Amino acid sequence: MLNKVSVKYIAPLAIFVAMAILFWRGLSENPTVVPSPLIGKPVPNFSSPSLLFPQKNLTNKIFLGHVSILNVWASWCYSCRAEHPVLMNAKLEDNAIIYGLDYKDKSQAAISWLKKEGNPFQSIINDPKGQLAINFGVYGTPETFLIDKKGIIRYKYIGPISPEVWKDDFLPRIKTLQQL
């Protein structure tokens, strides 16, 4: 039934539709987001001092046994302030276990910042030189990792977390991982 004439008419339309779909999908994505190769891999080994209790040493063992969030932030990072209420809410309302990675920051400035804005973190890893952040593939702040009970990185979000992103991207994943 498909004769030569109708193919000549349908082919350009089909090609156009295919391209339109490709463009629709491609242009709606953020091109500057770099996908992380660490998804599915265990958290890199580390041993760093805690920001608030410098005598205390934090290692990757802190992530074992529960679903955790690791939030890379700094007191100088403007967008981190924007997502801060979302993290506070996540801790209070959803009982989320959130660890912080204080990235290339001055300890005093970070501690004052937390005193002023509130502290959503169970513990904060102090990374003043950004050395640990390199192992996590961090290239800007804020970046947030979702880590399962075995310490495997399951999801990474780049940019400040809005309430919608928390509700739609993080909560469902957290619930799934909690049941594993």
Given a contact cutoff of 8 angstroms between Cβ atoms, the answer to whether 159 and 71 are in contact is: no
In the bound complex, what is the minimum distance in angstroms from residue 34's beta carbon to other proteins?
5
Quick note: the x/- pattern for other proteins over 123-152, rule CB under 8 A, is -------x---xxxx-xx------------
Q: Specify burial of residue 5 (Cβ count, 10 A radius: 0-12, 13-18, 19+).
A: exposed
Find the distance separating the first CA and the last CA of the chain, reported in whole Å.
53
In b/e form, how buried is each residue of 16-53, taking b as 16+ CB within 10 angstroms? eeeeeeeeeeeeeeeeeeeebebeeeebeebebbbbbe
Size of the site for other proteins (CB under 8 A): 14
38: contact with other proteins by CB under 8 A: yes
Q: Which is nearer to other proteins, 121 or 136 (CB)?
A: 136
Which tokens hold the place of 171? 């909560």
Q: Specify burial of residue 8 (Cβ count, 10 A radius: 0-12, 13-18, 19+).
A: exposed
In the bound complex, what is the minimum distance in angstroms from residue 154's beta carbon to other proteins?
16
Binding part of the chain for other proteins, among 11-19, 34-42, 52-60, 168-176 by CB under 8 A, reads 34-42
Quick note: the x/- pattern for other proteins over 50-89, rule CB under 8 A, is ----------------------------------------
| Residue from 1, 35, 116, 180 in contact with other proteins (CB under 8 A) | 35
Using CB under 8 A as the criterion, which residues of the chain lie in contact with other proteins when the complex forms? Answer: 32, 34-38, 104, 130, 134-137, 139-140
